Each structure stands twice: as structure tokens, then as C-alpha cells.
Structure 1
């Protein structure tokens, strides 16, 4: 337990320092989130990945907090997904490449011996969908990190209940690293998570829940998994429905996610993240209670009802979809903003 506290503290401090250090190199290299009017560097996710893997590796190498073979394989697969996300941040990979790469990584970590073939296929599909849903949460300052921290604590509690100490420590380290990153990502953000960090977080959380629920019945397991990722699922369902009804391309970015619509209701950027974080805490708490047997899986129906209600209400809020500009024009504009900002900094 003492090592877990020390590891989490080290991860928080290291992630905070590394996120600050990586900001300027990302700005100079032009690795930016192009959805924003201001240049937002995307190496925050790299800081979270490096710190999480480093602290976990130290615990494994020293045998103070061994992860176990299955958890080591899980972390290695998550790191591979993070590398794929980093490539997407730098060179903009096609979405189908991200999906295929995440699916291959998920296929390597699903415990088929305990889930069975069909259960393993369902688990694989859920890991891919949850990873992409967490990537979608990276649309507002602080949102993906906040939901990731809450979910990591919930998944860690489930792992601890199953006496999976190595997995519980890993999830606490992830939560601490995300907290350190949030020091620079809270509105107004100075650095972003990017596909590298969001895919890594989503994959690690989803795979951890699959490990924790392996051997349980599919029904209760589905209830726990849904509750732990309810906010990410709500955002994904909202975006898919909105774009389908408006007959807009599903993969084209736009300000039509959860936080965007909450801001149209008058909430501040920070207020919308706090509200969604509170919603995530509530649903994750239900998931933990279902997993530990304090309540039946029927409680997940209340979470599903809340998600459905929120999606239907927010779906009626109109959002302004900007006219798409050419990629060359966007790149030129972003480079100009970065150059201006660096000139001001160098004064």
C-alpha cells in the first residue's frame, strides 16, 4: 500500500513536470490540435504514457509491486496503441488504421480462456469502442483527463476487490499521471492529450475492466462495463445520432459533443467539465457497487436511463457547424499562430 501511494505521488509530479517540458517542443514542431483557434500542443498524452509506463516498470523491475504477466502484456499493448496514436497526432492517420491497430492490440490481451470465444469477441469489440469513445472525449479542456481519473479509480477499486494488486497499482498510477497532466490541461489548456494519450487511457481502462470481469456472466459484466464508461458512451451516441440525423459525415470533426452542447446552455467551459465529471463519478460508483455485489445489475438501468435522457435533451440543442476549410489553409494559419506566439515568448 505504501508503494502504491509513493508510486502515485511520483507519477503525479513527473507527469506535471514532463507535460510542462514537452509543450514548447510540440509548439515548435507544429504538433497541434487544429480544432482550436489557438495553437494547442498535443504532447500531454505522451507525458502521461511515458510516466505511467516508467513508474509501472520500476515497480515490476524491483519486484516491489510486480504487475503479473497478464498485466504486463496489457500495458505493453496499451503502449503500442499509444505509439499508433502519437503517429496519428503527427501525421494524421486514417481512422480505419486506428481502429485496426486498436483491434489487433485488443486481440492480444483478451483472456479467451476465461471469457470463451464469443465472450472474447465481445470483449475485443468493447475495448475498441471504449478506446475510440475516450478519444472522442478529448474535445474540451480537462474533460478526457477528468473522466479518465474518475474511471481509473473505479476500475482500480474493482481490481482491488478481486485482489488484483498489480492491476490496482497500475490504475492508481494512471489516475495520478492524468491528474498531473490536468494541471496544464484545465481551462484554458496549455497542452492537450491528443490521440496518443486518449487512446492509451481508453484502452488501458477498458482492458483492465475486461481483466477484472473475466469469468463472470456476460450480463452483469456488460452492466459494470457500461457504468464505468457511461459518459464516454453518451458522448459517442450523441455524436453518431446528431451527425446521422443531419446527414453529415460521421468522421468529420465538429462542435457537437457533450461539452459543446452544454456550453450552448450557458455553462462555462470549466462548469461543463465539472458537471460531466460528477456524472461520471455517479455512474462509476454504480458500476463499482454492481461489481462488488452491493447492488444488482438492474441498477445499471438507471444509469442507462440517465444517459438516454441526457442524449435526447442535448440532441435538441442546435450547434453551429463551421465551414470546412482546406487542409493547406488550416496548416498555414496554424503555423502563423505558432510563429507569432513563439516570437512573443522570445520577446
Structure 2
């Protein structure tokens, strides 16, 4: 217990300091938020994701190496796989990668960490799909200052409590360290952001949290497990579903950033940028709390239906909020005449 508190405090301070120290190197290397540059007065360095990943791995492996806080069976492999996914995201931050490469790489990493002896082959395949879904959902959730970090901290504490209930002490400590590192990063990511999470940090967040949740639910029945996992990832999942519906209907690429996410639509309803993050953070807290209580047996499984209903209502209502869609023009020569095409 004492080590967990000490490790969390160290992770918070180290992440806060490292995010600042890496700002200038990130700017010089061109590691900036390219897709969001139009909406910012100056480039946003993606030093926060590197700081969160580095500090989480450093503190967790220090506990493992000193044997003060061993990670436990499979948890070390989980952390290595999450770091590999973060490295893939870092490549995507520095250079453009096809969406299929991100999906395939994340799926391979997920396939390496799922405990098939407890989930079975069919359950393991579903778990891999869930992990990939959550990793991409958190990447999409990184569309507003402070949002992905806030939801990540709330979810990390929730999954950490589930791990503690299952007496997975190493996993619980890892999640506390990760939540603390994210909190240190949030000191620089609250609007106006001075450091960004980037694909590296967002994919790492979604992968680590979803994989840890799968670990805590391994061995349980499939239907209750699906309900708990849904609650733990409700906000990120709702955002992903909303974006998929809108972009499929408009015929636009799914992984290209646009002003059609949850926070964008809440702002169109009159909320401030900070207010939208607070509302979504509160929604995440409520959903995660239900998931934790159901997992611990302190609440019936039917409570998941309330979370599902709330998420469905939010998606349907916000679908009706009109947002300004991105447009790009290109000159195309057709039949000897010059036409303008918008995409």
C-alpha cells in the first residue's frame, strides 16, 4: 500500500516534469499535432504521450525489478505489448500510417496478451476485438484538450478497483501508477494545452485499460463480462459509435479527424470547451462506477442496461446536433472542363 502511494506520487511528478522537458525536442523533431494545427495559434508538441508511456513503464518495471511490487503473471507481457502499441502510435505521430497498419499492429499486440486459458478461443477472439476497439476509441477521444486524459484517469481508477477486488495487486499498482502519470500530463493538457497526448499516448491508454479490464474479467461468464467492459469504456465507445455513424453516412474516412465528436457537439449546444470535458468526465465516472459495482457484486447486472440506455440516448440526441463538416477542394479536369470537387 505504501509503495503504491509512493510510486503514484513519483509517477505524477515525473510525468509533469518530463512533459515539459520534452516539449522543445518534440517541436524540433516536428512531433506536433498536425491535424489540429488549424485550430491552434501555435504548434502543439506531442510530448505528453511520450512522458506518460515512459514514466508508467519506468516506475512499473522498477517495482518489478526490485521485487517490491511484482507485476504478476501476464501483466509484464501486457505492459510490453502496450509499449509496443505506443511505439507504433509514435511512428504514426511522426509519419503518416495507413489505418489498416494501426489496426493490424494493435490486433497482433492484443492477441499476445489475452489469457486464452481462461477466456477460451471464442472469448479470446472477442477480447482481441474489444481491445482494438478501445485503443482506436481512445485515439478518437483525443479530440479536445484534457478529454482523453480525464476519461483515462477515471477509467484507470475503476479498472484498478476491479483488479484489487480480484487480488491482482501488481495490476492494481500498475493502473494507479498509470492514472498518476496521466494526471501529471493533464497539468499541461487542460485548455489551453501546452502538450498533447498524440496517437502514442492515446493508443497506449486505450490498450492498457482495455487489456487490464479483460484480465480482471477473465474466467467470468461472457454476458456479464460484456456488460462490465461496456460500462468501463462507455464514453469512448459512444464517441466512436457516433463518429462511425456520421462518417459512414457522409462517406468520409473513419480515422480522419473532423469536428463531429461528442465534445464538438456539446460545444454547439452552448457548453464551453472545459464544460464539455467536465460533462463527459462525469458521464465516464458514472458509467465506470456502475461497472465497478457490478463487477464487485454490489449491484445487479441489470444496472448495465441503464448505462447502455443513457449512452444510446446521448448518441441519438447528439446526432441531431449540426456541426460544421470539414471541406477540402481539389481541381479536377473532366471532359476538357475545370470542375471543383469538395470532399
TM-score (norm 2): 0.93
Match of residue 329 from structure 1: none
Structure 1 residues 113 and 188: alpha-carbon distance in aligned structure 2, compared to 1, 3 A threshold:
same
Larger mean Cα displacement after TM superposition, 236-245 or 11-20: 236-245
1:267 equivalenced with 2:271 (yes/no): yes
Alignment partners' CA distance in 1, 2:58 and 2:248:
42
Give the equivalent residue in structure 2 for 1:29. 29
Of the three residues 122, 134, 138, the one matched with 2:126 is 122
The structural deviation recorded for 1:31 is 1.3
Task: Determine which of 219, 225, 248 is the counterpart of 2:252.
Answer: 248
Residues 94/123 of structure 1: CA separation in 2 closer, same or farther (3 Å cut): same
Aligned with 2:226: secondary structure? helix
Match 1:154 to one of 152, 158, 168:
158
Aligned-residue CA RMSD in angstroms?
1.0
**Quick one: distance in 2 between partners of 1:294 and 1:115?**
24
In structure 2, what is the equivalent of residue 314 of structure 1? 318
Counterparts of 1:92 and 1:182 in 2: how far apart (Å)?
26
Question: How many Å apart are 1:325 and its aligned residue?
Answer: 6.8
1:121-200 superposed matches below 5 A: 121-200=125-204
Structure 1 position 244, deviation (Å) = 1.9
Q: Distance in 2 between matches of 1:325 and 1:64?
A: 59
Partner of 2:328: 324
CA distance in 2, matches of 1:79, 1:122: 22
Q: 2:200 & 2:252 partners in 1: Cα distance?
A: 26
Q: Find the aligned partners of 1:174 and 1:92 in 2 and give their Cα distance.
A: 27
Cα distance per residue 1:282-333 (max 9 Å; x no partner): 000000001000112211110000000000110011111222378xxxxxxx
Q: String of CA shifts for 1:58-117, please: whole Å, max 9, x gaps.
A: 100110000013100000000000100001000121110000000000000000000001
Give distance in 2, aligned partners of 1:255 and 1:16. Answer: 29
**CA distance in 1: counterparts of 2:198 and 2:255, whole angstroms:** 16
Aligned mates of 1:325, 1:56 — CA distance in 2 = 48
More helix by share: 1
Deviations along 1:168-204, whole A, 9 cap, x unmatched?
A: 0000000000000000000000111000000001000
Going from structure 1 to structure 2, the CA distance change for 1:30 and 1:301 (only over 3 Å counts) comes to: same
Distance in 1 (CA, whole Å) between partners of 2:95 and 2:248 is 28
CA distance in 1, matches of 2:25, 2:327: 30
2:227 is equivalent to residue 227 of structure 1: no
5+ residue gaps, structure 2, are 331-343
Structure 1 residue ranges (4+ consecutive) displaced by more than 4 angstroms after TM superposition: none
What do residues 203-244 of structure 1 show as CA deviations (whole Å, max 9, x unaligned)?
000000100000000011000000000000010011011112
SS in 1 for 2:102: helix
CA contact (8 A) 2:59 2:177 kept: yes
Q: What is the CA-CA distance between 1:30 and the residue it aligns to?
A: 1.6
Number of residue equivalences: 326
Would you say the 8 A contact 2:72–2:168 is kept in 1?
no
Tell me, in whole angstroms, the C-alpha distance in 2 between the residues paired with 1:251 and 1:288: 31
Matched with 1:207 is 211
